[in-house]
Structure 1
Amino acid sequence: MNGGPSGFNNAPVTRAFIIASALFTVFFGIQGRSSKLGLSYLDIFGKLQLWKLIGSVFAFSSTPELLFGLYLLYYFRVFERQIGSNKYSVFILFSVIVSLLFEFLALALLKDPAVNQVTSGPYGLIFASFIPFFFDIPVSTWFRVFGVRFSDKSFIYLAGLQLLLSSWKRSILPGICGILAGSLYRLNVFHIRKAKIPEFVTSFFSRLSWPTMGSPPSAPTRNIVGNAPSYSGRRVERNYPSPMPSSVEPPEDSIATLVSMGFDRNSARQALVQARNDVNVATNILLEAQAH
């Protein structure tokens, strides 16, 4: 599972966030400020500088954290493809802001010298993403290593565990705050899942001329899926388009994108045929089929 074979296609917000995180990490690392970026309870009662707040959100404090963090952010671009860039932007803002509020609250209550400065980086977004990853990404394969059973999702969990324990208490605290933020998003507090960033904002990220991996970018897909997949327990009846003629074969990259989300290849192909090659509609068809 790698979140899709076609680089950052249909994930411009993720691409911009990853680039910003890498640049801020390098910038603060060159200046020797990496160890000073983490928030502490002194920042709550004192004057929190803007550069420190920005650094605590984007810049990782070490190279190993950067590598594992960017890998997870890159994989989680699958959620931007599922719910659309407009709603995924709201998910990013909500996760970052709410996790920061939880961090401030925890630091103010604990005042523990062992966590007087939490580690920096987009821990809130990364660990908030584990909530939809756990509930909404199905397992596609199982295998055994030395008699222990693993799934294709295990590698993502192991990378997350490594990042969570990278600085012990200093990294566990922001990780837990991120999980709480992701849980609140899933619970749809304040109807947050209905919120969207204006189209002109997300289209700005699409126009950024950063090089991407994989095949040429395809046209932006419409946000047909709506709320995050399977967040609602109610069955929603949709009028899907009639299937295409059997002579029209779905593109291989579209099939591979759905397979990377954990769906069976044959089911992915059939859903694309029914959805007339619209990946968003096909994803919704497959998720609703799993729910029943």
Structure 2
Amino acid sequence: MNGGPSGFNNAPVTRAIVIASALFTILFGIRGRSSKLGWSYQDIFTKLQIWKLIVSVFAFTSTPELVFGIYLLYFFRVFERQIGSNKYSVFIFFSVIVSLLVEVLALKLLNDPSLKIMTSGPYALIFSSFVPFYFDIPVSARFRMLGFQFSNKTFIYLAGLQLLLSSWKRSILPGICGVLAGFLYRLNIFHIRRLKFPDFIASFFSTLSWPSMGSASPTGQGRNAVGNAPSYEGQQVEGNYSARSSSTINPPEDSIATLVSMGFERNSARQALIRAGNDVNAATNILLESQAH
């Protein structure tokens, strides 16, 4: 199971974050300052070193964390394709802000000397993404190994566990706060999933990084328009698809691959795309609804 077609097609926000994380981590590592990454309560509220907070959103403190973190960020690009870059930008902003606020509160309440400095990296985004991954990406294959049962989602969970335990308490707390932020987004508090940034903010990411590698999606087919996609959560689809189902054009392979990567069967994905007029977002809702019944 992967995150869809190879490369960053229809995922410019994820591409920008992956590039920023890699560059910040490498830059601070080359300069021998990786040990100084991470922020503390005193850095932000006493010394007012806001730059540490900004850097901590992107830069990992070690190479193993970078490898697992980049892999998970790359995989979770499937959610940007599903809800659109605009709403995905809102999801990122909400996850980071909420996670940081909860971390600050936890540090104040716990008053644990071993938690004076938090680990650095996009933990909020990564672990908040595990919430839709758990609820909305179905298991499509199961297998047994050494007497244990695994699924096609197991490796993603193992990569997340490795990242969660990478710095013990210093990484566990940000991971838990990220998961909490993901749940709050899913619960749609303050109607957060209705919010959208002005289109130029989300599309700005497209100009920050070079064109993605991999096969490009045909224009107007299987592409998530910025700010014009439904929530990643299975939800009621307005109206019906009888008008769209008249389309006899075979769905593009990259659209089918995107749905298959979410765990749906190939034939079901193809039929849903035909019903939805090759609209990946609408086809996803059709498949999720069919599983709910």
- Quick check: TM above 0.5? yes
Counterpart amino acid of 2:155? F
How far apart, CA to CA, are the structure 1 residues paired with 2:52 and 2:66?
A: 17
Aligned equivalent of 1:152: 152
Aligned equivalent of 1:228: 232
Counterpart amino acid of 1:228? Y
**Cα deviation, residue 45, structure 1:** 4.1
CA contact (8 A) 2:237 2:285 kept: no
**Cα deviation, residue 174, structure 1:** 0.6
Say yes or no: does 1:33 pair with 2:36. Answer: no
How far apart, CA to CA, are the structure 2 residues paired with 1:179 and 1:7?
A: 26
**Cα deviation, residue 209, structure 1:** 4.9
How far apart, CA to CA, are the structure 2 residues paired with 1:64 and 1:11?
A: 24
> Residues 208, 36 of structure 1: CA spacing in aligned structure 2 closer, same or farther, 3 A cutoff?
closer
Say yes or no: does 1:243 pair with 2:253. Answer: no
CA contact (8 A) 1:131 1:183 kept: yes
Say yes or no: does 1:287 pair with 2:282. Answer: no
Aligned equivalent of 1:98: 98
Unaligned runs of 5+ in 2: none
**Cα deviation, residue 99, structure 1:** 0.6
Q: Please list the CA deviations of residues 141-176 of structure 1 after superposition, one character each: whole Å capped at 9, or x if unmatched.
A: 111111211010111000000000011111101101
How far apart, CA to CA, are the structure 1 residues paired with 2:208 and 2:99?
A: 28
How far apart, CA to CA, are the structure 2 residues paired with 1:268 and 1:28?
A: 44
How far apart, CA to CA, are the structure 1 residues paired with 2:201 and 2:41?
A: 34
How far apart, CA to CA, are the structure 1 residues paired with 2:6 and 2:258?
A: 8
> Residues 165, 208 of structure 1: CA spacing in aligned structure 2 closer, same or farther, 3 A cutoff?
same
CA contact (8 A) 1:44 1:108 kept: no
Counterpart amino acid of 1:122? P
How far apart, CA to CA, are the structure 2 residues paired with 1:236 and 1:251?
A: 22
How far apart, CA to CA, are the structure 2 residues paired with 1:208 and 1:33?
A: 25
CA contact (8 A) 2:15 2:209 kept: no
**Cα deviation, residue 189, structure 1:** 1.1
Counterpart amino acid of 2:255? S
Q: What's the secondary structure of 1:243's corresponding residue? A: helix
**Cα deviation, residue 260, structure 1:** 0.2
**Cα deviation, residue 264, structure 1:** 0.7
How far apart, CA to CA, are the structure 1 residues paired with 2:247 and 2:278?
A: 12
The aligned length equals 288
Counterpart amino acid of 1:291? A
198-207 or 94-103, which moves further after superposition?
198-207
Q: What's the secondary structure of 1:144's corresponding residue? A: strand
How far apart, CA to CA, are the structure 2 residues paired with 1:202 and 1:40?
A: 30
> Residues 269, 172 of structure 1: CA spacing in aligned structure 2 closer, same or farther, 3 A cutoff?
same
**Cα deviation, residue 112, structure 1:** 1.0
How far apart, CA to CA, are the structure 2 residues paired with 1:106 and 1:131?
A: 21
Structure 2 counterparts to residues 188-199 of structure 1, below 5 A: 188-199=188-199
